[in-house]
Structure 1
Amino acid sequence: MPHTRRSSDEVLSAIRDAVHSELAAHGYQGITFEGVARAAGTSRPVLYRRFPTRAAMVTDTVIAHSTEAASTPPTGALRTDLIDLLEVLYAQIGATGVEVFSGLLAEVDHDTATRVEEATLGFFIGRLSTIVDAARAHGELGPERLHPRVPGAVLALARHEATLSPEAPSREDAASLVDHVIVPLLQVSTQAR
Structure 2
Amino acid sequence: MTDPTTTTPDRRPGGRTARVRAQVLDAVCAELAENGHEGLTMEGVATRAGVHRTTVYRRWRDVGGLLVDVIDAAGEIDWQPPDTGSLRGDLTALNQQIQESLVVQPSLAVALMAASFHSEQAARAQTRLWADRYAQCEILVERAVERGELPAQRTDARSLLIAATAPLYHQLVLLRADPDPHLPERAAETAVLAAAAGAFSVRRRREESM
TM over 0.5: yes
Q: Structure 1 length as normaliser, TM-score?
A: 0.75
- Does residue 81 of the first structure (1) align with residue 90 of the second (2)? yes
What code does the residue aligned with 1:119 have? L
What RMSD over aligned residues (CA atoms) do the two structures have, in Å?
3.0
Indicate the residue corresponding to 1:173 in structure 2: 183
Task: Identify which of 108, 111, 119 aligns with 2:119.
Answer: 108
Q: Which runs of 5+ in 2 are unaligned?
A: 1-13, 203-210
Whole-angstrom CA distance in 1 between matches of 2:184 and 2:148: 23
Whole-angstrom CA distance in 1 between matches of 2:122 and 2:31: 21
Question: 1:67 Cα shift?
Answer: 5.3
What code does the residue aligned with 1:141 have? L
Q: Which has the higher helix share?
A: 1
Question: 1:37 Cα shift?
Answer: 1.6
Identity of counterpart residues, as a percentage? 24
Question: 1:52 Cα shift?
Answer: 2.8
Instruction: Spell out, residue by residue over 1:17-55, the C-alpha distance to the aligned partner (whole angstroms, 9 max, x if none).
Output: 221122222233222222222222322222222323323
Instruction: Spell out, residue by residue over 1:51-94, the C-alpha distance to the aligned partner (whole angstroms, 9 max, x if none).
Output: 23323312331343365264464122211211221233334445
Helix, strand or coil for the counterpart of 1:7?
A: helix
Indicate the residue corresponding to 2:127 in structure 1: 117
Q: 1:131 to 1:23 in 2, by over 3 A?
A: same
Whole-angstrom CA distance in 2 between matches of 1:21 and 1:87: 23
Indicate the residue corresponding to 1:25 in structure 2: 34
Q: What is the aligned length?
A: 183
Q: 1:171 to 1:141 in 2, by over 3 A?
A: farther
Whole-angstrom CA distance in 2 between matches of 1:183 and 1:158: 16
Q: 1:159 to 1:14 in 2, by over 3 A?
A: same
